[in-house]
Amino acid sequence: MKRVEKAAREAGNHLFIPYMMAGDPSFDAAVDIAVQLEESGSHILELGVPYSDPLADGPVIQEAGLRALNEGMTLEKTFSLVRAIRERGVTIPIVLFCYMNPLLRYGVEEGIEEAGKVGADGWLIPDLPYEENDEVRTSCHRHELSLVSLVAPTSNQRIQTIASQAEGFLYCVSSLGVTGVRKNFDERLDEFLEKTEAYSKVPLAVGFGISTNEQVNIIHAKGYGAVVGSAIVREIGNLQESLLDPSSRPQAIRDIKAFVETLIS
């Protein structure tokens, strides 16, 4: 069993997967944030690669992407970031959340091979449905990485195909739309998750719009993992100035720790 799936299974219904943007607000701060996210009890880390045209993302992650791009972050530098995070002793699996174009530009085979070398464990490519993912999937297998799939409430007849191909964990989109903070879950959520679970060989993790401790607990109580993206990224955005200043960074990292611990308490 590959590392992503193993971590997801071992976490059971406590599975917690935070998302952070590579290079937001800086390379060094991102390393510290990743270290803290593991210490706070995360089981898998989703690391976003900034992109100029992030179709699946809402405003919070778009802005984080812009901050990272302004810092000069690229896919190539994300590989260096993963290496730096590993050098600081982080052992939880890291999944790169990356749009297709930066990977195509780098070279699909080269990029996936490099990800494995620096210590990443998987890829999640939000604009790559299964119809288009042959090359990426083959490369991931060659380098023993997991290709994490997304499934949505609208997937309907597609659920079986997606779930049966799922690797690592299966990322279930909790509501229609882009990533972002929401108050309510789609009313079809339970039905959708049950149907998906019936076909899936790997644990389910629910994401898009999960932002509070209450919501995390609801998802965990249903027996699924929780992915929290925008809520954490927004907190990082609020702490941007303190994170950029090395003297105030330790306090900002403690603030992030408190925020994450509240989320999963």
Least separation in angstroms between residue 153's CB and another protein is 8
Give the interface with another protein as residue ranges (CB under 8 A): 51-56, 58-59, 62, 66, 69, 74-76, 99-106, 126-129, 131-132, 149-152, 154-158, 162, 173, 176-178
Q: Which of 57, 71, 121, 186 is catalytic?
A: 57
Cα–Cα distance measured from residue 53 to residue 32, given in angstroms and rounded to the nearest whole number: 27
* Closest to another protein by CB, 92 or 227: 227
Sign of CA dihedral 109, 85, 46, 24: negative
Sign of CA dihedral 174, 177, 180, 183: negative
The answer to whether 198 and 165 are in contact (CB under 8 A) is no
Residue partners of 98: CB distance under 8 A and separation at least 6: 48, 49, 51, 75, 78, 123, 124, 125
The answer to whether 226 and 206 are in contact (CB under 8 A) is yes
- Report which of 84, 115, 118, 92 is spatially closest to residue 102, judged by C-alpha positions: 115
Residue partners of 185: CB distance under 8 A and separation at least 6: 174, 175, 209, 215, 218
Instruction: Return the beta strands (E) in the chain as ranges.
Output: 16-21, 45-48, 94-97, 122-124, 146-148, 150-151, 170-173, 204-207, 225-228
Least separation in angstroms between residue 254's CB and another protein is 32
* Closest to another protein by CB, 41 or 129: 129
Q: Which of 5, 32, 46, 235 is catalytic?
A: 46
The answer to whether residue 134 is catalytic is no
The answer to whether residue 57 is catalytic is yes
* Closest to another protein by CB, 166 or 263: 166
* Closest to another protein by CB, 104 or 198: 104
**Alpha-carbon dihedral 75, 79, 84, 90, rounded to 10 degrees:** 110
Least separation in angstroms between residue 20's CB and another protein is 19
Cα(first)–Cα(last) distance of the chain, in Å?
29
Least separation in angstroms between residue 125's CB and another protein is 9
Tokens of 196: 């998906």
Least separation in angstroms between residue 183's CB and another protein is 15
* Closest to another protein by CB, 55 or 221: 55
Please list the active-site residues: 46, 57
